[in-house]
Homo-oligomer: A and B are copies of this chain.
Amino acid sequence: MAGNKRVTLAEVAALAGVSAITVSRAIRQPGIVSEKVKNRVEAAVRELGYVPNPAARLLATGRSNVIGVVIPSITNNVFADVVSGIYDAVEGTDFEVQLGNTRYSPSQEEGLLRIFSSQRPAGLIVAGIDQTAASLDMLASIDCPVVQIMELSADPVGHCVGLSHYEAARHASAHLVEQGYRRVGFLGARMDPRTQRRFSGFREVAEAAGVFDERRVCTTTTPSSVTLGSQLLADLLAKAPDVDAIFCNNDDLALGALFEAQRRRLSVPDQLGICGFNDLEMVSAAEPAITSVFIPRYQMGRQAVDLVTQGIASDGENPTEIRDLGFELRARRSTARKQD
């Protein structure tokens, strides 16, 4: 049953005493062949260890079983969870996942999409809504379900599964204000469009509450890291020593900021409130536990795949769906300034 030479349909057919096309049908649509033949074919398949050749199938049908996934980073925990949801959702189906990594570069994304679209994918899942015009053109004209994830688009090219990062940031910022913090600051890394939307949410709430100050904003285009969070807090304290709370662009920064606060013997949450974003597992375990905004990363992956498979099942003509998966502020000790 091992053996490394390929077994073809024809060989299975010969062994089962039927024609090749019948074997093909027995495998793909077991319902339409007779019980007897199906059993014979199954036995032959098992005996020879036959595995279909996907390339031949693809060539013959012009449709692949590959769901292309385009994300900006594979090391970022957020996308790792999304991808995990995608893989789990694909498990047990006939689909395969093909990952593409844009490294946060719109032009690399364009290149990846060009390649993907030339391979007649079964579906396409892309992170974000900030594609280039050319990328959007490709997505609009490609003949397969397309799902944008992470965010909600006012003008989606296909389906959309995500949440409003702007609203989520507003929520978190309002929480800081509610907790009594009056000199709130912002720590941001990478500053990609998604981050900037979070920043606007923060800024608007802070301004409305009259607690916004440019001096308390520390951002960089450098990729995020825990170490960077420490540095950014150090920079912020240098510029604005009176800051009493920070909203961090993501949890790495928040954790780094917590460590820096510990180094400086700044008590969290009393002297400094810290709020992160994403709610990675580690921030809930921190001491003190860090407040963060949970976003349903894993679910986004799963549901994106669902939309793709549904789109294929309904043969394309189902309406564009926009799923707002929301977010959840998880208030923890790091922002518990008021007694509770």
Contacts and interface: CB of A to CB of B under 8 A. Distances in A.
Contacts of A143: 4
Given A2-B138, A51-B114, A281-B227, A84 B74 contact: yes
Interface string A173-189: 00000000000000000
Number of copies: 2
Contacts of A18: none
Interface in A219-265: 225-227, 229-230, 252, 255-256, 259-260, 262-263
A21 interface: no
B59 A4 contact: no
Interface string A7-38: 00000000000000000000000000000000
A285 B6 contact: no
A286 B281 CA distance: 16
Nearest to A87: B101
Nearest to A5: B143
Interface of A: 2-4, 6, 51-56, 58-59, 64, 74-75, 77, 80-81, 83-84, 87, 96-99, 101, 114-115, 117-120, 137-138, 141-143, 225-227, 229-230, 252, 255-256, 259-260, 262-263, 281-282, 284-287
